[in-house]
Amino acid sequence: MAAGTGNAIARCRIRKNDTVMVIKGRDRGKTGKVLRVLPGTGRVVIERLNIVKRHSKPRGTASPGGIVEKEAPLAVSNVMVMCDRCNAPVRIAIKVAAGTATRVCRRCAEPLGNE
Ligand SMILES: [Zn+2]
């Protein structure tokens, strides 16, 4: 079962602070920075994207209620990492050299920043 140890790296190629583009859904074509990667769920929270409005009821003086805007998590399959060099959303390859895995752009083969 646990023969393929390399899978853990390949599964989640998106990391915190990556700049990504949304390729599906309401915010398609928009880019933003990854604030959080939610492990296990395959979802990411992207700064100022996929905003949902929460209508909250007043609960004491600390929370007066009203409409609160909040980023909702997006599935990683709906976003692609932006390559600075290509200035485009790209697919990522994992390059292993000297035991270290580096994420590289499949288009220009340059390592992505934020390692
Ligand atoms: Zn590139």
Alpha-carbon gap, residue 13 to 48, rounded angstroms: 21
Domain residue ranges in the chain:
7-105
**The dihedral sign for the CA sequence 78, 46, 36, 51:** negative
Higher pLDDT, 3 or 23: 23
Q: How far is the CA of 104 from the centre of ligand 1 (A)?
A: 8
- pLDDT 10s digits, 19-72: 999 999 999 999 999 999 998 899 999 999 999 998 988 888 888 889 989 999
C-beta separation of 85 from 60 below 8 A = no
pLDDT at 114: 64
Q: Which CATH number fits domain 7-105: 2.60.120.10, 3.90.78.10, 2.30.30.30, 3.40.50.2300?
A: 2.30.30.30
**How far, in Å, from the CA of 105 to the mean position of ligand 1?**
5
